[in-house]
Structure 1
Amino acid sequence: MLGHLLCLLGLLGAATACGEPCQAAKAVFLSRWGDAYGYGGRIDEIWAKEIGTRLPPDEHYIDFTGSSLYWNSQVEGAMRELQTAVFGNPHSSNPSSLRTEARVEELRRRVLDFFGADPSIYDIVWTRSGTGALHILGETFPFTPGSRFAYLDSNHNSVLGIREYAKLAGAEHGAVSEAEVEAWLAGEPGASLPPILQEDGKAGHPKRHHSKRPRLEAAAADAAAAAAPGGRRQLAAQPAGQQGLALALEELGDPLDLEQASGTGRQHGRKHHSGSGGGGSGGSSGEPGEGGDKPGEAPVLNLFAFPGMDNFGGVMYPLRWVRAVQAKSTRRQRWKVLLDAAAFVPSHPLNLTETPADFVDMSMYKLFGYPTGVGALIARHEDIAAARKLYWGGGSVFLATSHLDWRLLRPCGAERFEDGTLPFLNILGLSYGLDVYNELGWANIERHTNAIREWLYSQLPQLRHSNGAPMLRVLGNHSGPDSSWKQGATFNFQILKPNGEVFSYRRAGTAMVAAGFHMRTGCTCNPGACYAFLGVRDEEVQTAAQLAQGNFSEWEWVWVRRKVDTPHAIPTAEEAAAHAGSVVANEGKHHQLVKLPLGSLRLSFGYMSRFEDAWALLNWLKQHYTDRTVDDYVFTAADGDSSSSGSGNGGDDAAGAAGTAAGRTQRRAEHVRRVIELQGPGWC
C-alpha cells in the first residue's frame, strides 16, 4: 500500500514539475527524439516508482558520471535475498559459506556475459572500486626497464597513478595526445612522435612535448587570446593573497623557457633506472628493447591506457584503438591495452568479443547506483598468470609460514588478487542492477541519453547576453553528424559574462547546488583534459601548488604569464602584481599576467535522466546569468522557485516534510558553504 502511495505521489510530482512552457518544449522534443527517449514512453512511470519521493521535485540529478541512481526495486530485491537465507564468509566450508561462494561465482559469470567476455579468455577480479582495479593492475603489471607505459593525456588520475609502478620498475612512461596516437597507429611517414611511441623503443633523454588534442589547442588559444590586451575578456582586479604567485611567476620567466631548464612537467620519454626491473615475463637484461632477442625469451610487455570516454568532458575515443595498438606488437615488444571503462559503460554498451581489450576497469556504483564498494578488473587469463603479485593476505594466499619467509599463492587466477574477504553481501546486490540494465536494454540506454544530449546542445546557442555574446563555453565533440559516437551525455563548461570574462566556477557551482542541481565542479580528477580546456600549463599548476604551501582553501585561480604582440609600457614588479592585465618584460619579450581558472562545471546525464532535468538547467542558466556581470552569488527566494522559468514547482505539496522550495534552497546553499569552508573547493 505504501509503495502504491509513493508511486502516486511521484507521478503527481512528475506531472506538476513541468509547467506549460516546459510541456510545449517537450512536445517539440518528442516529435524529434521520441523514438529514442524514455524507453517507449515509460520513463516517467519508472521514475515515479523507482526514484519517487527520494528526490524532491525541485531538484535535478545531473551527476551520473559521479554516481548512478539506484532503483527502489534494486534495494528491495537485495534486502529480500538477505532476509531469505544466511550468507557466510566464502573462505569457510559450511553451508552458508558454500551458498555465498556459489552466488559470487554466479555473478562473475553474469558480469562477464554482460560485457560479452568469453570466460575461456577472460576472468574478473573483484575490487573495491574502479580505482582499486587500476591499483591492482599497476602493482602487478610486469613492468621491466625495457617496458613502456603510454597513456592518453585525458585519462583519469587513477590511470596516471600507474606510472609510479612503471617508475619503480625502471620503465619509460609518458602522456600522449589523441593526434599522436592516430599518427602512431597510422604509421605516417615522417610523423613527429613522442619518444614513448617511437618504434625502436629507445627514447633517449626526456623530451618536452605539450601538444594537445586539436579541439583543445583551439580552446587554449581562445583562453589566452581572450585575456590579451584588446581581447574580449576584461580582467578583474587581482585578489588579495595572489600577489606572491604573480611575482613568483615573473621571477620564473617564460614558461616555455622554464620547460627547458626545470626538469618538471609532463614528459613522454623519461627513463628511470633506479627500479628493480625484475619479475614477470619481461626481458631479463635490464636494457630497453632487448627482450625477446634470445631463443625462447619472452617479449617485453608494454601498456597503453585510454578511456572509452573521458570523465571530464565526456569525449569518447575510438574503440578500434584496442586492436590497432595490439597490432603494433613485435617479436621483441608486446603491447597490452588498458581500457578505462568507468565513465563509458554506464551509458554505452561494451562487448569484449568485438573490442578485445587486455584489461578493463569499472566501478559498479557508476553503472547501477547500488551497491557501492564493488569494482572489477576484467583481464585475460594469460595476463593474470603473468602478473607480478607483491602484497598477499587473507584468501589470496594458499599457504604461508610465520618465521620462514615463504608463501604459496592460490593457484586460481582471479582469486590470487582478491586479498582479504570479499564484500560478498555487496556483490550479491549486483544481481539486481544487472536486472535493471537487462530490462531497459543497454542500447536503449545509450539512445535515451544521447537524445537528451542532442536536444540540450541544440538549445545552447540561445543562451546569449543582450550584446550577443555567448553565455557558455562548452568542451567536447557535441556538434557534427557523428557526435553520437564521439561524445557522451556530459557537458563541461564555463559560464561567461557579457564581456567574455569567466565566472567563478566555485561560486557558480554553489549557486547551482543551492538551486537543486546535483552536479560537479573542479577538474573532476582529470588534470590532462581539464588544464588543456582551461589553457593552463602543467608547470604553472605545479608552481601554484608549491606556493600554496598546503593551503588550498582559495584554490580557484592562477595568474600566469602569456606573450602579447603589442608592446606596452613596462611597470615594476610590484605594479605587475597589483594590476591584472599589466605587461611585464622577460629578456626583451612582452608578457601579460592572465588570470585563468583551475576548474569548471560538469553536468552528466544518465539512464534515469529526464527531459525536465535538461529543461530546468537551460532555463535556470538563462534566468540567472543573462547579462549578469557581478561574480558573486547571493541567495534569493527566486532561486528556490523555478516556476518563473517555466519548469514549475507544483510538487511541493507532495514533498511535504521537505518544506518550501525557498527553504530547501537556503539550506542547500548554507550546507555547500559549510562544506567548502571545511574541505576547500572540492575533489581533484
Structure 2
Amino acid sequence: MPVQHSTQRHRWRMLPKTLCRMSTEIPVSLNLEFVFARDIAVFLFVDSHLLRKLLWLCSLTCFLDSQSDSSMATSDLVTSMRHLVLKYFNASPRDYKCIFTSGATAALKLVGECFPWSGDSCYMYTMENHNSVLGIREYALSKGATVSAVDIEEVVDPSKNQGCDSLFKISKRSNQRRGDDVLLHNYQNGSLTAISGKHLKGNNLNLFAFPSECNFSGHKFNLSLVKLIKEGKFIGTSQQQGRWMVLIDAAKGCTTEPPNLTVYPADFVVCSFYKIFGYPTGLGALIVKNEAAGLLNKTYFSGGTVAASIADIDYVQKRKSIENVLEDGTISFLSISSLRYGFKIIDMLTISAIARHTASLATYVRRKMMDLKHSNEKNVCIIYGQQASKVKDLKMGPTITFNLKREDCTWFGYREVEKLACLSGIHLRTGCFCNPGACAKYLGLSHSDLVSNFEAGHVCWDDNDIINGRPTGAVRISFGYMSTYEDAEEFLKFLQSSFVSKAVGLNNGYMVNMDTLHLVDDWSQQATSDIRLKSITIYPVKSCQGFSVQGWPLTTGGLKYDREWLLQGSGGEILTQKKVPELSSIRTLIDLELGKLFLESPKRKDKLQISVLENLTHISAEVDVYGQRYEVQTYGDKVNSWFSDAIGRPCTFMRCTSSKHRSCTINGRRDRLCRDTRSKLSFVNEGQLLLVSEESISDLNSRLSSGNVNGKQQMFVDAMRFRPNIVVSGSASYDEDNWKRLNIGKAYFTRHTRH
C-alpha cells in the first residue's frame, strides 16, 4: 500500500512485508555496508533459498538418461520446472516449449545456429540491442541473408480521436550482405509506418529481434510490435517477402515485467535466471513456440538427443521431443531444481508489486538527479533515454543511465565515477553495457567516432572513458526487488557530496564560483610559502607496490625508472590491479648504486633481482598499451615463471625501451604531445607525474564519514591509494586542480589534466 516517508512528499508503493522479513535472511558473510545499486542482476539470494536447496541436494539425484526411480524423479522435477518457467511468461504448454540453456546468450546463439536462413531471408533488429543479439547476424550473413538494423519510433497519431492509438515508424539503416552487391529496396522516404495490407507470399523465413527492455537506457519497447511484424504490417508491396518471425530478448525486461506470451505470441523469447533471482548462475532458457520449433534445423547431435544412430554409416534418427533435440548433453538439473525456490519468492511478492516498487524507486531517483545543479545552475546529471521518445506515456524500466558534468560543462569520466563509488561502497556498472547501438545513439557517436576511438586504443572494459573531450560510455544503476529507499538515498548523497560544486567563500566576504579560480594563470600569483613536498614514491612495475624515497633523479620522461616495467597476460592483455589484485602484493625496490630492481612476493620464498641497466641482448618486441605503441624488452623463462607464481597466472615481464610518440587529448584538443618528444616514454597512463594533496584527501574522507548512517564503520582513504608520485600539503583542498605550473627545486612541471 502507498505510504509517505517521514521526510519526503514522494509516495512509495511498498512491497509486502515479506520483503522486510527476507532482508533479514541475507547471508551474514555478505558485507552489508555495500549499497547494491548496480544492476537488476545483483539480486541477493536469501538464506531460506539456499537452505532449501542444500537440503534437496542431500537427497538422491540421478543422471536423467536412465530408467531408475531416482532418475525418473529428477526428470519429473525438471519437467515441472519447465512448466513454472512457461507459467512465468503466461505461455501455455500446448503452444510453447522451454529449452534450458547455459544463459540468455546461449539461447540466442541456439536460435542463430538453427534458424533456417537462406539467400532470400532477412534478419532485422533494433539498434538498441545487446551484442548477443547482434551476433546472430553472423549466421545470417554466412548463409547469404540480408541484415538490417532499424530505429523504431513510437508516436501518438494526432488523427485519432481518442489520442491513444500508436504508429510505429521504422528508420532503416544500410543493408548488410556478404558475397554480392544484392540489396533490398529502400523504404520509402527512409521510414515506414505501420499500415494495413496483405502479407506477400513467399516461402523464405525472416527474423525480427528486439528487447523487451533496453539494457542500456531502460526503455521498454511496446510489445504490440510482435503482432504487427508477424502479420506483415511493416512489409510494403515492394519490401521483403516471406514469413516474419519474432525474437524477444527478455533478459533485462523479465526481471520486473516478463512478456505475456498469450497476449504477445512471439516465436522466441530468451531469459537468464540469474538476472531474476540472483541464483543460480549459468542457467537460462529459450521459450520457443511449437510451430517455430518445428522449423529449426539443428546439425549437431549428441548424447541424449537421438533415438538411434549407427557408428559406421550415415544413419541417425533424432528424438521427437524438441527439448531433447535442442538440449545437448546433460542439462544442469541441480541448478534447474533451484528455480522452484526462486519462483516461490516471486509468488510471495507478486511480480506486479515488484514492478511498482522498482518503478517508484527509479522514478524518485531520476527526478532527484535531474534536480541536481552546480553553484552556477549548470546541470550535474545527463540522463539518457527518458526523453528519447515523443510518446507521452513511454514506460521506463527501473534503470537509470547517465553521465556527470562539471560546472564548466566538461565531463567526469565514468571510470572516475566508478572508482569514487567503490570508495563509498556503491556498486555501479560503467561502459556501454555490451549495447553498442544504444551507446552510440544516446552518446551521439558516429561510425567515424567509434572507429577513431578504437584506433586511439579504446576497447571494451578499459579506462579510456573520455576521448576528444567526449565520453565513450556511461554509468548505470538499476533497482530490483531487494533495493530499498535507503539505498536510493545513499546513492543520491554520494552524488551530492562527490560531484556537485558549491560556491567558494573568500576572506573579503565575496562569493565566487570555482570558475573564478581557473583564472589564476601564474604560479607567482599563488601563495606558495606554506606548500611542502611531503613524499616521493616510485612505482617501477605498473600496478605493483611502490617505494618512497627522500630524493630521486629526474629525466625528461619523469622520475627515473617510474612505471618502466609491466606484466602482459597470456592473451596479450596488459595486467592491472583491476584485473589481477595479486599484483598489489608484489613489493619493489631499486638500489641505484647496485643498479638492481628487487622484487618480493608472499607467493615466492626467493627474492627476484633484475638489473636496471638496459641489456640489448634481450628479445625486443612491440606492444600496444591503451593506444600507445611501445618497443619493449622481454625477459627469460626464469623471470616470467617467478611472476607467474606470484600472481597465479601465466604472464610475461617486459620493460619499455622506447615509444612511438602520440599526440594526446588535452581539453579535447590533439594539437600537442603529452610529453617532450625527446623523452623516453614509460608505461604511465598520460601525465609523467601524479600529484595529490593531503588536504584534498582529508576533505574526501570528511565527505565519506559524513555519509555514514546507522552506525556503519567509518571509511578512510589513504593518499597512497591513488598511487601518487608526489604528495604535497599546505594548500587548500583541491587547489592543485587550478595550478598551471609547479617547480620543485630546479625542476619545472606543467599541469596536464584529462577532461
* TM-score, L = length of structure 2: 0.62
* Residue identity in the other structure for 1:154: E
Q: Is the 8 A contact 1:145 1:172 kept in 2?
A: yes
Residue 520 of structure 1 is aligned with which of 402, 405, 429?
429
Matched, 1:164 2:164: no
* Matched residue SS, 1:354: coil
* Superposed CA offset, 1:558-579 (max 9, x none): 34xxxxxxxxxxxxxxxxxxxx
Structure 1 partner of 2:62: 88
Q: Which moved more, 1:536-545 or 1:329-338?
A: 329-338
Q: CA deviation at 1:69?
A: 2.1
* Superposed CA offset, 1:155-178 (max 9, x none): 011000000010011111111001
* Residue identity in the other structure for 2:150: V
For residues 303 and 539 of structure 1, what CA distance do their matches in structure 2 show? 29
Structure 2 partner of 1:465: 374
Residue 342 of structure 2 is aligned with which of 430, 433, 437?
433
Structure 2 partner of 1:661: 715
Structure 1 partner of 2:22: 46
Structure 2 partner of 1:27: 6
How has the CA–CA distance of structure 1 residues 648 and 669 changed in structure 2, closer, same or farther, with 3 Å as cutoff? Answer: farther
Q: CA deviation at 1:135?
A: 0.4
Structure 1 partner of 2:682: none
Instruction: Number of aligned residue pairs: give it.
Output: 511
* Matched residue SS, 1:393: coil
Q: CA deviation at 1:82?
A: 1.2
Q: Which moved more, 1:627-636 or 1:172-181?
A: 627-636
Q: Is the 8 A contact 1:642 1:648 kept in 2?
A: no
Q: CA deviation at 1:302?
A: 0.8
Q: Is the 8 A contact 2:39 2:429 kept in 1?
A: no
Structure 1 partner of 2:183: 204
Q: Is the 8 A contact 1:384 1:413 kept in 2?
A: yes
For residues 140 and 252 of structure 2, what CA distance do their matches in structure 1 show? 24
Residue 648 of structure 1 is aligned with which of 709, 723, 737?
709
For residues 45 and 94 of structure 1, what CA distance do their matches in structure 2 show? 40
Q: Is the 8 A contact 2:25 2:47 kept in 1?
A: yes
* Residue identity in the other structure for 1:63: R
For residues 691 and 473 of structure 2, what CA distance do their matches in structure 1 show? 17
Map 1:15-164 to 2 at 5 A. 26-29=5-8, 32-34=10-12, 36-37=13-14, 39-41=15-17, 43-47=19-23, 49-51=24-26, 53-83=28-58, 85-164=59-138
* Matched residue SS, 1:117: coil
For residues 47 and 72 of structure 2, what CA distance do their matches in structure 1 show? 29
For residues 189 and 431 of structure 2, what CA distance do their matches in structure 1 show? 22
Q: CA deviation at 1:667?
A: 12
* Matched residue SS, 2:109: helix
Structure 1 partner of 2:479: 605
* Superposed CA offset, 1:83-113 (max 9, x none): 2x21111012222211211110110011111
Q: Is the 8 A contact 1:349 1:446 kept in 2?
A: no
Structure 2 partner of 1:315: 219
Q: CA deviation at 1:138?
A: 0.6
For residues 391 and 62 of structure 2, what CA distance do their matches in structure 1 show? 50
For residues 340 and 150 of structure 2, what CA distance do their matches in structure 1 show? 38
For residues 416 and 644 of structure 1, what CA distance do their matches in structure 2 show? 58
For residues 489 and 369 of structure 1, what CA distance do their matches in structure 2 show? 16
* Residue identity in the other structure for 1:627: S
Structure 2 partner of 1:266: none
For residues 81 and 102 of structure 1, what CA distance do their matches in structure 2 show? 15
Structure 2 partner of 1:503: 412
* Residue identity in the other structure for 1:168: S
For residues 130 and 342 of structure 2, what CA distance do their matches in structure 1 show? 25
Q: Is the 8 A contact 1:177 1:211 kept in 2?
A: no
For residues 63 and 398 of structure 2, what CA distance do their matches in structure 1 show? 40
Matched, 1:354 2:408: no
For residues 99 and 182 of structure 1, what CA distance do their matches in structure 2 show? 53
How has the CA–CA distance of structure 1 residues 45 and 187 changed in structure 2, closer, same or farther, with 3 Å as cutoff? Answer: closer
Structure 1 partner of 2:204: 300
* Matched residue SS, 2:100: strand
Structure 2 partner of 1:418: 327
- Identify unmatched segments of 5+ residues in structure 2: 158-165, 192-198, 503-513, 519-666, 668-689, 724-755
Map 1:184-223 to 2 at 5 A. 186=167, 204=183
Q: CA deviation at 1:461?
A: 3.4
* Residue identity in the other structure for 1:368: F
Structure 1 partner of 2:604: none
For residues 487 and 668 of structure 1, what CA distance do their matches in structure 2 show? 38
Q: CA deviation at 1:458?
A: 2.2
* Superposed CA offset, 1:191-223 (max 9, x none): 8755769xxxx97379899999xxxxxxxxxxx
* Matched residue SS, 1:125: strand
Q: CA deviation at 1:180?
A: 8.8
For residues 609 and 492 of structure 1, what CA distance do their matches in structure 2 show? 17
Question: Which structure has the highest strand share of the two?
Answer: 2
For residues 475 and 175 of structure 1, what CA distance do their matches in structure 2 show? 21
* Superposed CA offset, 1:99-128 (max 9, x none): 211110110011111211011100011000
Structure 1 segments (4+ residues) deviating >4 Å: 180-183, 185-188, 191-197, 205-212, 290-293, 329-332, 478-485, 549-554, 628-647, 665-670
How has the CA–CA distance of structure 1 residues 457 and 596 changed in structure 2, closer, same or farther, with 3 Å as cutoff? Answer: same
Matched, 1:454 2:363: yes
For residues 44 and 720 of structure 2, what CA distance do their matches in structure 1 show? 23
Q: Is the 8 A contact 1:360 1:378 kept in 2?
A: yes
* Matched residue SS, 1:149: strand
* Matched residue SS, 1:661: coil
Q: Is the 8 A contact 2:27 2:46 kept in 1?
A: no
For residues 65 and 207 of structure 2, what CA distance do their matches in structure 1 show? 33
Structure 2 partner of 1:230: none
Matched, 1:444 2:353: yes
How has the CA–CA distance of structure 1 residues 415 and 551 changed in structure 2, closer, same or farther, with 3 Å as cutoff? Answer: closer
* Superposed CA offset, 1:17-38 (max 9, x none): xxxxxxx994244x6423x12x
Q: CA deviation at 1:379?
A: 0.5
Larger relative contact order (Cα-Cα within 8 Å, sequence gap ≥ 6): 1
* Residue identity in the other structure for 1:146: D
How has the CA–CA distance of structure 1 residues 78 and 533 changed in structure 2, closer, same or farther, with 3 Å as cutoff? Answer: same
Please provide the CA RMSD for this pair.
Answer: 3.8
* Superposed CA offset, 1:312-338 (max 9, x none): 111111011111111117895111111
How has the CA–CA distance of structure 1 residues 328 and 62 changed in structure 2, closer, same or farther, with 3 Å as cutoff? Answer: same
Q: Is the 8 A contact 2:130 2:434 kept in 1?
A: yes
For residues 290 and 77 of structure 2, what CA distance do their matches in structure 1 show? 21
Q: Is the 8 A contact 2:431 2:461 kept in 1?
A: no
For residues 89 and 638 of structure 1, what CA distance do their matches in structure 2 show? 60
* Matched residue SS, 2:271: strand
* Matched residue SS, 2:411: coil
Question: Which structure has the highest helix share of the two?
Answer: 1
Q: Is the 8 A contact 1:196 1:203 kept in 2?
A: no
* Superposed CA offset, 1:295-316 (max 9, x none): xxxx211111111111011111
* Residue identity in the other structure for 2:709: G
Structure 2 partner of 1:326: 230
Q: Is the 8 A contact 2:431 2:460 kept in 1?
A: no
How has the CA–CA distance of structure 1 residues 454 and 669 changed in structure 2, closer, same or farther, with 3 Å as cutoff? Answer: farther
For residues 366 and 459 of structure 2, what CA distance do their matches in structure 1 show? 39
Matched, 1:375 2:284: yes
* Matched residue SS, 1:50: coil
Structure 2 partner of 1:179: 153
For residues 481 and 94 of structure 2, what CA distance do their matches in structure 1 show? 31
Q: Is the 8 A contact 1:511 1:633 kept in 2?
A: no
